[in-house]
Amino acid sequence: MSSYFSELAQQYIDGEWRPGTGSWDIIDFNPYDNEKLASITIATVEEVDDAYRAAARAQKKWAATSPYARRAVFEKALRLIEEREAEIAEAIIAELGGTRLKAGFELHLAKEFLREAVNLALRPEGRIIPSPVDGKENRVYRVPVGVVGVISPFNFPFLLSIKSVAPALALGNAVVLKPHQDTPIVGGSLVAKIFEDAGLPGGLLNVVITDIAEIGDAFLEHPVPKVISFTGSDKVGRHVATVCASHFKRSVLELGGNSALVVLDDADIDYAVDAAVFSRYVHQGQVCMAANRVLVDRSVAEEFTEKFVAKVRSLKTGDPRDPETVIGPLINSRQADAVSSAVEHAIADGATALVHGRTTDNLVEPSVLTDLPANSPLLKQELFGPVALLVPFDGEEEAVRLANDTPYGLSGAVHTADIERGVAFAKRIETGMFHVNDGTVHDEPIVPFGGEKHSGIGRLNGDTMLDSFTTTKWISVQHGRSGFPF
């Protein structure tokens, strides 16, 4: 077991590692074998306050630091991740049940986002805007918001913590990070350790490992943070947005999805099968961009279904430490039970199980369902597990209607031999992202990432980080004397 779980099972506040003072512990379990990885005494409301106050004290000096000096911290953090990649991968496998393939994928993206943070430090630019008033000079500065609160999820905790933490810091802010209680080390204290070792001054990044049962909305309501960056479910995201709005804070919300991968009548079927299987079953389906629904033109449905089912049957479920394993455990028994129950309810309501996976503890074998009634709730909701829904359609118009028939609008994909047909189709789908002849699961450091409808508010990545983690300030200079009417 990685030493991270013994060394980093603490809060990180104002540059110091210290135990929480709550009255109970968060127990960190390996979801595959239920081995106890760590026991962490939770942070209280007082420690959340300590963390935010420390961030506010440290931020002013950091914002005044040359962006070239700030950039050096991220260059060092990147080198440290590269040096410790094997250890971090083992921690990802142990804490969240990620397969070796998934751990490598997450680490690759984390490094890419750190490389972008290196460049982001130098991105903010000011503007001079003309004035109708003689002698007036209008300067518009882009300045840090101050302190950012980051709440990260359990599915890609290392990546999705870094994805908000690194840009916020690079742009001159301080950060308080609250990782998901199922991934407190990989999503929280490990991130702090890397930045500490990279030379980030104390107080600029704080990690509080806690639970809303202890702190309620204190993390959101605290007067210090001006922006809350939240990644998680739309149900919790709605609450985060409501609380933030009532306290005049900006919220950046990256929420759930119910993406459709659409196979048109002229698609390369073998390639579409590969894309669809990956898009649905990567990391056990615990991905917001996963292709919950696979929509297939009826003219090619028989061929596609036969090949899709065969490939799904070949996926190995088991120990995520085994390089051959494709499907590891879900994060906890609650998730495993919810996915299994959803499958059984769908079958009871008339769906046909082409593949009916068994559930053993947190291991949920892949399932493939078809013949779902049009009003099946499963077609509308996010399904965070290894279950694919195959839905035939007749022609593009029906495909567009079905793809859009969901409260979510995060990602999606279409497969066709005609690229421009695919692009025209993509433009009609109500999502923040859509891919032609590819999978639904993509994230790149400089391309705007985010969703429509219940899938979120705002965007991350590239220049959109400036909109999320800085604000503009107008300073006018009057050269000569201004005239006043009285």
The mean pLDDT value for 67-90 works out to: 96
The mean pLDDT value for 42-67 works out to: 97
Sign (positive or negative) of CA dihedral 110, 114, 116, 121: positive
Q: Is 254 a known active-site residue?
A: yes
In sequence order, what DSSP letters do the residues of 26-40 get, joined into one string?
EEEE-TTT--EEEEE
Sort 3 into a burial class: Cβ within 10 Å, 0-12 / 13-18 / 19+.
exposed
pLDDT on residue 1: 54
Tens of pLDDT, residue by residue over 272-291, are: 999 999 999 999 999 999 99
The mean pLDDT value for 172-184 works out to: 98
pLDDT on residue 99: 97
pLDDT on residue 280: 98
Tens of pLDDT, residue by residue over 138-157, are: 999 999 999 999 999 999 99
CA distance 44 to 212: 10
CA 486 to chain centre: 56
Q: Which domains does the chain have, with CATH numbers?
A: 4-255+455-474 (3.40.605.10), 260-436 (3.40.309.10)
Is the pLDDT confidence value at 401 over 60? yes
Q: Which residues contact 249 (CB under 8 A, 6 or more apart)?
A: 220, 225, 226, 227, 228
Share of the chain above pLDDT 90, in %: 99
Catalytic residue among 116, 254, 365, 396: 254
CA distance 386 to 378: 13
pLDDT on residue 128: 97
Which tokens go with 110? 């984390």
The mean pLDDT value for 255-263 works out to: 97
End-to-end CA distance of the chain: 76
In contact, 177 and 148? CB cutoff 8 Å = no
Catalytic residue among 106, 116, 196, 288: 288
State pTM to two decimals. 0.96
The mean pLDDT value for 240-260 works out to: 97
CA distance 240 to 429: 27
Nearest to 112 by CA among 442, 435, 441, 432: 442
The mean pLDDT value for 171-180 works out to: 98
Which DSSP symbol is given to 185?
I
Q: Which residues contact 64 (CB under 8 A, 6 or more apart)?
A: none
The mean pLDDT value for 344-353 works out to: 95
CA distance 144 to 59: 9
One-letter amino acid for residue 301 of the chain? A
Share of the chain above pLDDT 70, in %: 100
CA distance 37 to 6: 8
Is the pLDDT confidence value at 177 over 70? yes
In b/e form, how buried is each residue of 131-163, taking b as 16+ CB within 10 angstroms? eeeeeeeeeeebebbbbbbbbbbbbbbbbbbbb
Give Cα separations from 240 to 219, 406, 471 (angstroms): 10, 22, 20
CA distance 85 to 80: 8
* Mean model confidence pLDDT for the chain: 97
pLDDT on residue 2: 73
